[in-house]
């Protein structure tokens, strides 16, 4: 910096002069540092082992559904979301493929592919979806047998609401729980009956079973 140009300037003028000549030397490294920090934080957050991953398919007003789960389930189960975050994946749309009038744009198709990959990859534990979307995966044996997963007492209490699918052998298997339209989550599904299922590929089946029990005891069904 030229001393003759700054020697007779006030402190404020020196700061302005310094900033005019050096701002990019300051801003660029700062921007890079912020970018790296944000990227690292996102990576560390994604690599944390979640307590549970819940997917909401074909739902509307998913933000309210997420808030309901976040505010009540996390508190009830005393989940430390800093160590084991609860993840809610929403925005998935699965049209009625058997309906000739149904159509899917590229974004919807990409969403279906992403959901399928997350489901069979063991990332998603619990799905709240519609009956036709559930039936799309029945032949893949993608869901847990709830009679085996849940305690006998809980299964008996939920028996009237059990949703059945057929496996590859043609056997009828209890894979889901129908959520009544009058239930607190029924409001988020204006088209079709919402069904809660647990992925057969889930690595957190015990927590998924606890989630269903909470659903039942909290009166959300």
User: Do both 18 and 108 map to the same domain?
Assistant: no
User: Do both 24 and 73 map to the same domain?
Assistant: no
What percentage of residues in the chain have a pLDDT greater than 90? 19
Tell whether pTM > 0.75: no
Q: CATH number of the domain that 201 lies in?
A: 3.40.190.10
User: Do both 154 and 65 map to the same domain?
Assistant: yes
What pLDDT band is residue 44 in, cutting at 50, 70 and 90?
Answer: very low
Question: CA-to-CA distance for 27 and 37, rounded, in angstroms?
Answer: 15
Query: What are the tens digits of pLDDT across the range 85-135?
Result: 778 887 787 777 645 555 567 778 888 888 888 888 889 999 988 888 888
């Amino acid at each position: 910096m030229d001393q003759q140009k700054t020697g007779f300037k006030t402190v404020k003028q020196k700061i302005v002069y310094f900033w005019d000549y050096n701002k990019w030397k300051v801003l660029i490294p700062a921007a890079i540092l912020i970018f790296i920090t944000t990227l690292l934080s996102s990576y560390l957050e994604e690599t944390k082992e979640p307590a549970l991953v819940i997917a909401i398919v074909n739902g509307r007003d998913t933000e309210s559904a997420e808030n309901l789960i976040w505010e009540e389930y996390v508190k009830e189960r005393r989940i430390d979301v800093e160590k084991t975050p609860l993840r809610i994946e929403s925005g998935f749309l699965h049209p009625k493929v058997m309906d000739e009038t149904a159509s899917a744009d590229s974004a919807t198709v990409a969403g279906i592919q992403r959901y399928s990959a997350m489901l069979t990859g063991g990332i998603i534990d619990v799905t709240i979806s519609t009956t036709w979307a559930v039936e799309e995966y029945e032949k893949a044996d993608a869901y847990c047998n709830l009679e085996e997963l849940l305690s006998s007492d809980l299964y008996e209490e939920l028996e009237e609401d059990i949703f059945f699918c057929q496996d590859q052998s043609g056997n009828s298997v209890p894979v889901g729980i129908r959520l009544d339209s009058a239930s607190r989550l029924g409001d988020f599904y204006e088209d079709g009956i919402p069904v809660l299922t647990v992925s057969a590929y889930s690595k957190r089946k015990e927590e998924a079973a606890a989630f269903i029990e909470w659903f039942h005891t909290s009166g959300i069904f």
